[in-house]
């Protein structure tokens, strides 16, 4: 039994439930906690250690997810656990009895996930859970990519930009960073495959990694125009729903434009994943140096965005 503080009692007796409380309660219900923890436990070097017991993995995983949902750094997350009662409750911590994990503890847990590639495995577990619930159906894939910015300044210790990030031109503007490529289920719009590359990688270069073997339809924007892929898809009986692209000698006809509009209305749902990770979770700029660490965070964000988009259906 844990000692209940006056602050905790006052929090319990308040009249209104905040949006953060509702969100955390819903995510508590839909996240497959036991399956995710089963992936982490074999790699935990603290298990079986004598002396002071380490922070429970369930607590650390919940804290890591809150960092993704609210775009909190390690120091900011530590402060939030001291200040915000709803976050402490979600993590299973009581201020009077439990030690609050410091930023170094949070860092070590994240390094554990990165070292063993556990975030990618957890994303796959979430995808399998959604498929088992009938929320990911076989049939077709929508593909798209988005740019995540990286600091372009050279005013740092190394006096250079991140060598694993690159610049690319989109329209008339240049961007520096990396690209997140997503393949989403054509029925639900939930992400099922993800790759991370430097920003200068072409969209079409990742297409083969985003499609499933049983796909019968492919939808994408003009960045995926490729006659070789198109011929292969049609030969295999796969519907090629990639928008047509005007060339210098040939302009799009009215029927071409209508077709592009119809295809755009179908593949627009893949943008919902990017909306969640960028606008809701606040992930618009890379947090770490190098592709590997940032990719680990992207896998976690994509898995959590799927749960966010599907949480109403999962709770019904």
Residue 196 has pLDDT above 60, yes or no: yes
Q: What is the reported pLDDT for 221?
A: 93
Q: What is the reported pLDDT for 214?
A: 87
Neighbouring C-alpha atoms within 13 Å toward the C-beta of 182: 30
Residue 100 has pLDDT above 90, yes or no: yes
Q: What is the pLDDT of residues 62-96, one digit of tens each?
A: 999 999 999 999 999 999 999 999 999 999 998 88
Q: What is the reported pLDDT for 53?
A: 53
Q: What is the reported pLDDT for 51?
A: 45
Token pair for 218: 């492919």
Residue 52 has pLDDT above 60, yes or no: no
Q: What pLDDT band is residue 35 in, cutting at 50, 70 and 90? A: very high
CA–CA dist 268, 278 (Å, integer): 16
Token pair for 60: 């650390």
Q: What is the pLDDT of residues 277-316, one digit of tens each?
A: 999 999 999 999 999 999 999 999 999 999 999 999 999 8
Alpha helix (H) residue ranges in the chain: 6-12, 19-30, 33-40, 57-70, 74-83, 85-91, 103-115, 118-132, 207-210, 227-235, 254-267, 271-275, 291-315
Q: What is the pLDDT of residues 147-188, one digit of tens each?
A: 999 998 887 777 788 999 999 998 889 999 999 999 999 989
Token pair for 26: 């819903």
CA–CA dist 218, 212 (Å, integer): 10
- The CATH architecture to which 138-289 belongs is 2-Layer Sandwich (3.30)
Residue 4 has pLDDT above 70, yes or no: no
Q: What is the reported pLDDT for 297?
A: 97
Distances (CA, A) of 309 to 138, 166, 214, 257, 276: 18, 31, 24, 31, 8
Residue 39 has pLDDT above 90, yes or no: yes
If we measure between CA atoms, which residue out of 181, 183, 222 comes closest to residue 201? 181
Percent of the chain with pLDDT over 90: 74
Distances (CA, A) of 201 to 95, 112, 138, 285: 47, 29, 28, 18
| Domain residue ranges of the chain, discontinuous segments joined by + | 6-116, 138-289
Q: What is the reported pLDDT for 160?
A: 84
Give strand pairing partners of 127: none
Number of residues that make up the chain: 316
Q: What is the pLDDT of residues 110-148, one digit of tens each?
A: 999 999 999 999 999 999 999 999 888 878 999 999 999
What is the model's pTM? 0.90
Percent of the chain with pLDDT over 70: 93
- DSSP β-ladder status, 239-242 and 217-220: parallel
Task: Taking the CA atoms of 39, 42, 43 and 48 in sequence, report the sign of the dihedral they define.
Answer: positive
| Dihedral pair phi/psi, residue 8, rounded to 5° | -70, -40
More confidently predicted of 248 and 91: 91
Residue 50 has pLDDT above 90, yes or no: no
């Amino acid at each position: 039994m844990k000692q209940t503080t006056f602050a905790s009692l006052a929090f319990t007796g308040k009249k209104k439930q905040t949006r953060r409380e509702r969100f955390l309660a819903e995510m508590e219900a839909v996240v497959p906690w036991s399956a995710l923890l089963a992936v982490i436990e074999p790699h935990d070097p603290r298990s079986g250690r004598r002396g002071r017991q380490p922070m429970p993995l369930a607590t650390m995983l919940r804290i890591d997810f809150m960092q993704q949902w609210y775009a909190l750094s390690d120091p900011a997350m530590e402060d939030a656990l001291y200040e915000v009662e709803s976050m402490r409750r979600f993590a299973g911590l009581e201020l009077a009895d439990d030690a609050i994990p410091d930023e170094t503890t949070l860092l070590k847990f994240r390094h554990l996930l990165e070292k063993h590639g556990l975030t990618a495995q957890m994303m796959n577990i979430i995808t399998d859970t959604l498929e088992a619930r009938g929320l990911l159906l076989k049939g077709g894939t929508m593909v798209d990519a988005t740019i995540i910015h990286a600091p372009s300044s050279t005013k740092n210790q190394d006096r250079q930009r991140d060598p694993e990030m690159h610049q690319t031109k989109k329209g008339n503007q240049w961007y520096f960073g990396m690209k997140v490529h997503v393949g989403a289920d054509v029925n639900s719009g939930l992400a099922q495959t993800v790759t991370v590359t430097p920003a200068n990688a072409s969209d079409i270069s990742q297409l083969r990694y985003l499609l499933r073997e049983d796909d019968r339809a492919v939808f994408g924007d003009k960045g995926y125009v490729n006659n070789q892929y198109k011929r292969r898809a049609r030969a295999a009986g796969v519907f090629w729903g990639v928008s047509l692209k005007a060339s210098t000698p040939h302009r799009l006809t009215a029927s071409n434009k209508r077709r592009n509009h119809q295809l755009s209305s179908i593949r627009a749902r893949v943008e919902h994943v990017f909306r969640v990770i960028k606008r809701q979770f606040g992930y618009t700029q890379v947090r770490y140096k190098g592709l590997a660490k940032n990719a680990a965070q992207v896998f976690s964000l994509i898995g959590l965005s799927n749960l966010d988009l599907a949480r109403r259906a999962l709770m019904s």
